[in-house]
């Protein structure tokens, strides 16, 4: 039986993590991530705050940037910590 669900979808519509921020912020984060793949979400957030283009704008939090990186599959794989050899 094919039954259609009549219930409505409650909550915020699914549009993407940074969809409520200006596209310029997303473009800058994307370009920085390509140029500096080692930058963490914390570093990206600090660089946004220091960029004079965004001084008066609301900026995404570090956790929001991290969620966006994961959503875009731009998360770096980290090597497991190993003990340093002793001499």
Give Cβ neighbours of residue 36 (< 8 Å, ≥ 6 apart). Answer: 43
Here the tokens at position 86 are: 């002793």
Residue 35: the pLDDT is: 93
pTM of the predicted protein model = 0.70
pLDDT tens per residue across all 87 residues of the chain: 555 666 667 776 667 888 889 999 999 999 999 999 889 999 999 999 999 999 989 999 999 999 999 888 877 666 677 888 887
What is the per-residue pLDDT for 7? 62
pLDDT at 73: 83
């Amino acid at each position: 039986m094919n039954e259609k669900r009549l219930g409505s979808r409650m909550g915020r519509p699914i549009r993407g993590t940074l969809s409520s921020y200006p596209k310029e912020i997303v473009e800058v984060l994307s370009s920085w991530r390509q140029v500096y793949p080692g930058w963490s979400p914390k570093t990206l957030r600090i660089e946004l705050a220091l960029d004079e283009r965004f001084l008066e704008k609301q900026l995404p939090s570090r956790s929001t940037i991290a969620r966006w990186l994961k959503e875009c599959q731009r998360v770096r794989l980290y090597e497991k910590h190993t003990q340093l050899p002793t001499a």
